[in-house]
A and B are shown apart, each in its own frame.
Chain A
Amino acid sequence: MNDIKRLEERITEAIDGLLSDQQLSALEGDLQHYPELLNEYRMQMGGLPVRSSYANVQPDPFAVSRLRQKMRSANQDQWQYDAIRIFKRYVLASGLGVILFFVALHVIPGTTNDNDMIDDEISIMFESLEQDALSWSDIENGTTSKR
């Protein structure tokens, strides 16, 4: 662990009041070699006004009773929830697995229709060669051919 990260961790502990006076003195001594960190340490010692500003954040008074109501309903339709969860986890996953399997079968060489396509290409090639041969024979015979 590098020194800076270790010092950052100790600063955090100091801010949270977890260091003894002796440890604090040692920390401040170490920070003398890192003026930027020392400055940040001093700034952070002032604290943040976060906790106080959130102290009054409260849910509405009926929120818990509403939740209890929902929990009671949840008990009744738990089987539906479980069914959906099982469907998502297993059926959907296995369905995707089957689809992926067939896609893979289709993509792996030798299991596609490539052979048929190659056959078609070869026969087309032979046809064109045959036609070329005919054209040459026409030329040799002094006749022209229109392709």
Chain B
Amino acid sequence: MSVLRDDDITETGDHVALGQALERLYPRVYRAVAGITAGSGLDVDDLTQEAFLKAYRNIDSFRGDSSLYTWTYRIARNVCLDAMRRRKFRGQFIFDWFKQPDSDYEFPDPSNTDVAENKDTRYWIDKALARLPEDFRSVIVFREIQDLSYHEISQILDIPEGTVKSRLFKARKMMREQLELYGVTP
């Protein structure tokens, strides 16, 4: 199920392993960060770099309970949540795109699906993601965008696999309902 398998990465638990995995891992973590922080206006590139640097500096604490890349994902998610919390604490957490809608992104008539299809679907996906509670957003990001297995998601989020599945069911339901409101259909 997963695109990036355990044996893709030499899990020696040292800096070299992470360094070697960078080319493959970076774009994937970047996409995960983009999904988790969707609509927050936070700098995805900065957060991704911060996550990798944090992983690199703390590689000694990697115990090998999970694979190196799920461990990196977990760090990336924590970096995102910390950044969003800091932003919220400062009272600056605004959905930048959504507070002042760009004229290119006008709400379409839900009955006219062509309008949404012709626009950048990513905008609507991000808008729907931003409306999900964080726990649900993460499972959508890790399953739908990252194509990770339930087991891998359960390791990243530190929840049982059954919870991953039921949470995924609810998250998909919420996403579908939001996207329907915006006139976006699969």
Q: Which residues of A contact B (CB under 8 A)?
A: 1, 5, 8-9, 11-13, 15-16, 40, 43-44, 46-54, 57-60, 63-64, 66-68, 70-71, 74-75, 78, 81
Give chain A nearest CB distance to B128 CB in angstroms: 9
Q: In the docked arrangement, what's the CA distance between A64 and B27, Å?
A: 9
Name the CB-closest residue of B to A70.
B53
Residues of chain B within 8 A (CB-CB) of A9 are 162, 165-166, 169
Cα–Cα distance between A137 and B185 once the two chains are bound (Å): 99
B125 beta carbon closer than 8 Å to chain A: yes
Do the beta carbons of A46 and B45 come within 8 Å of each other?
A: no
CB-CB nearest in chain B for A17: B1
Interfacial chain A residues near B186, Cβ < 8 Å: 46-49
Q: Which residues of A have CB within 8 Å of B45? A: 59-60, 63
Q: Which of B48, B56, B170 has the most CB of A within 10 A?
A: B56
Complex contact B179–A48 (CB within 8 A): yes
Considering only residues 90-125 of chain B, those with a C-beta below 8 Å from chain A are: 120-122, 125
Give 10 A-B pairs besides A49-B179, A54-B35, A67-B26 with Cβ atoms closer than 8 angstroms: A1-B162, A48-B172, A51-B144, A54-B34, A58-B27, A67-B22, A71-B15, A71-B56, A74-B53, A81-B57
Residue positions of B touching A, CB distance < 8 A = 1, 15, 19, 22-23, 26-27, 30-31, 34-35, 44-45, 48-49, 52-53, 56-57, 120-122, 125, 129, 140, 143-145, 147, 162, 165-166, 168-170, 172-173, 175-176, 179, 184-186
Residue among B22, B175, B186 with the highest chain A CB neighbour number at 10 A: B186
Is A64 in contact with B26, judged by CB distance below 8 angstroms? yes
Give chain A nearest CB distance to B14 CB in angstroms: 12
Chain B nearest CB from A49 CB (Å) reads 5
Query: In the bound complex, how far is the Cα of B179 from the Cα of A59, in angstroms?
Result: 26
* Residues on the A chain within 8 Å of B176, using CB: 43-44, 48
Whether A54 contacts B125 by the Cβ 8 Å rule is yes
Interface of A is mostly: helix
Given the known interface contacts A54-B125, A64-B23, the answer about A48 and B166 at a Cβ–Cβ threshold of 8 Å is no
* Chain A residues, Cβ within 8 Å of B165: 8-9, 12-13
* Contact across chains for B175 and A48 when beta carbons are under 8 A apart: yes
Whether A44 lies near B140 (C-beta < 8 A) is no
Q: Are B57 and A50 in contact (CB under 8 A)?
A: no
Question: Can you name the residue of chain B whose Cβ is closest to the Cβ of A47?
Answer: B186
Complex Cα distance A63/B172, Å? 32
Indicate if the CB atoms of B34 and A49 lie closer than 8 Å: no
- Contact between chains at A70 and B122 (CB < 8 Å): no
Question: Are B27 and A53 in touch, CB under 8 angstroms?
Answer: no
With beta carbons under 8 angstroms apart, the residue of B26, B147, B169 that contacts A11 is B169
Complex Cα gap A75–B57 (Å): 8
CB pair A78 B57 closer than 8 Å: yes
Rounded to whole angstroms, the CA-CA distance of A12 and B149 in the bound complex is 12
Whether the Cβ atoms of B52 and A67 lie closer than 8 Å is: yes
Q: How far is the CA of A15 from the CA of B176 in the complex (A)?
A: 13
